[in-house]
Each structure stands twice: as structure tokens, then as C-alpha cells.
Amino acid sequence: MKTLGDMSVGDTAVVKKINSEGKVKRRIMDMGITKGTSIFIRKFAPLGDPIEITVRGYELSIRKDDAKLLEVE
């Protein structure tokens, strides 16, 4: 299982599963990250957290802990 947190800058991935429930899953889905969504890794912050990604045409920063909940292909 590969997660978004394991990806490198410049990689593109497709979300296969959100490994969370409740409020955290709803927050991630509200940001536009759903099953089948393509995500491009733009850059990492200087200390590695957060990660800047491009989702559905806009830039989004996501915590590394949340990125590890996203199973990707």
C-alpha cells in the first residue's frame, strides 16, 4: 500500500482509498480529495510538513499525517 505521504515532489497519483472515518474523512473529502481524484505533488515545506499539492486545479496544503491516510496508485 502506497500513501500520498510516500510520494516525491513532481509525482502524480490517483486516490484509491481514504483510510479514515468520521470528521477527518469528511474534512479531506470537503477539500476535494475523493476516490479517483488525481493529485500532483508540488513541493514540501522546508521541514517536510505540510505538503503542497494540486487537486482539481487548485493548490492545497495538507499535513503529512493526513497525507498518510490517502492510499494512492
Q: Residue 49: what pLDDT?
A: 86
d(CA 67, CA 47): 15
Q: What is the pTM of this model?
A: 0.86
Structurally, how many domains does the chain consist of? 1
d(CA 20, CA 53): 19
SS3 assignment, position 53? strand
CA atoms within 13 A on the CB side of 4: 38
- pLDDT under 70: residue ranges of the chain: none
Give pLDDT tens digits for 6-15. 899 999 999 9
d(CA 22, CA 42): 28
Q: Which domain holds residue 28?
A: 2-72
- What CATH number should be reported for the domain holding residue 52? 2.30.30.90
